[in-house]
Amino acid sequence: MAGEPQADCLFCKIVAGEVPATVVRETETTVAFRDINPQAPTHVLVIPKAHHADAASLAAASPEVLADVMCEAREVAVQEKLAVSQNDPTTHGDKGTHGDPTTHGGQGAHGDQGAHSGQGAHSGQGAHSAKGTHGGGPGTGYRVVFNTGSGAGQTVFHAHAHVLGGRGLEWPPG
């Protein structure tokens, strides 16, 4: 049942403390931890504590929790020093901070590789940015990805957002 912990779900086991993870943030409704198979120098998964199979199911059942996941994705980006500075005219006014890229890395619990196919990750630069405009240093942006369904690369069927950054990321992805 949606919202209830599933005995065979890896992410439900992380929420319950049964499986270790490198947790970087936790709120009443979410947990954020490092992916054990990172596709970028920073690759953090943000999950709802309640079980929902994918982002679409989460949006239908608990849109407020989906909003919490997105807010935490931004907080992860700020904490990891990926968020774009509001004062940088090349970033279209996105808010965030600049900082030291040496805080990236670490290992955590496994998330799906998604549409990466071993080719890399996704960036928050979007289609409006030129390829390679930013080299992925501090404050150059990040990408938030939800893989929904096996055809999109979802391998853990508990809704989760991938927060990726710390290197130049191309558009279009995959």
* CATH classification at residue 25: 3.30.428.10
Query: Is residue 82 in a domain?
Result: yes
> Per-residue pLDDT averaged across 108-114, rounded?
41
Which residues, at least 6 apart from 73, have a Cβ–Cβ distance to it below 8 Å? Answer: 32, 46, 144, 161, 163
Residue 45 lies in a domain: yes
Range of the domain at 95: 10-154
Run of H or E residues at 74: helix 63-79
Higher pLDDT, 126 or 46: 46
In total, how many domains does the chain have?
Answer: 1
Decide if 174 is inside a domain: no
- Does residue 119 fall inside a structural domain? yes
Residue 13, pLDDT > 80, answer yes
Q: What is the pLDDT of residue 2?
A: 78
* Tens-digit pLDDT profile for residues 22-62: 999 999 999 999 999 999 999 999 999 999 999 999 999 99
Query: Would you say residue 117 has pLDDT above 60?
Result: no
Is 144 inside a domain boundary? yes
pLDDT of residue 122: 35
Domain assignment of residue 170, yes or no: no
Does residue 93 fall inside a structural domain?
Answer: yes
| Distance separating alpha carbons of residues 160 and 36, to the nearest angstrom | 14
More confident site: 54 or 127: 54
The mean-pLDDT minimum among 4-18, 27-41, 92-106, 145-159 falls in 92-106
Residue 5 within any structural domain of the chain: no
Q: What distances in angstroms separate CA 102 from CA 36, 43, 87, 99, 138, one per listed residue? A: 18, 14, 22, 9, 9
* % of the chain residues with pLDDT over 90: 61
In terms of pTM, does the model score above 0.85? no
Return the H-helix or E-strand segment holding 161.
strand 161-165
